[in-house]
């Protein structure tokens, strides 16, 4: 069971969402403390080379009424 909406991101080895011992970003803090991923999602969406060719990892390939 998860309590926060799923947010999936891929990155290269030079990118870090957080660093141990360093204060968290306000976006990460909002997700951790309140389950709100809106600011974190916006940050990742506007990142350099951001893309979402499938319109979401968990999105269906088509709407049910369009599949048949």
pLDDT, averaged per 10 consecutive residues of the chain (68 residues), comes to 73 80 91 88 75 57 60
Q: What's the pLDDT at 46?
A: 75
Geometric angle at alpha carbon 36, from 30 and 41, rounded to 5°: 95
Residue 36 near residue 30, CB atoms below 8 Å = yes
Under 8 Å CB-to-CB from 16, ≥6 apart: which residues? Answer: none
User: Cα 32 vs. chain centroid, distance in angstroms?
Assistant: 13
The pTM score is 0.56
């Amino acid at each position: 069971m998860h309590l926060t909406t799923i947010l999936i991101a891929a990155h290269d080895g030079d990118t870090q969402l957080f660093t141990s011992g360093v204060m968290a970003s306000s976006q990460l803090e909002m997700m951790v403390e309140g389950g709100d991923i809106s600011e974190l999602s916006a940050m990742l969406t506007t990142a350099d080379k951001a893309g979402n060719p499938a319109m979401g990892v968990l999105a269906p390939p088509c709407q049910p009424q369009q599949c048949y």
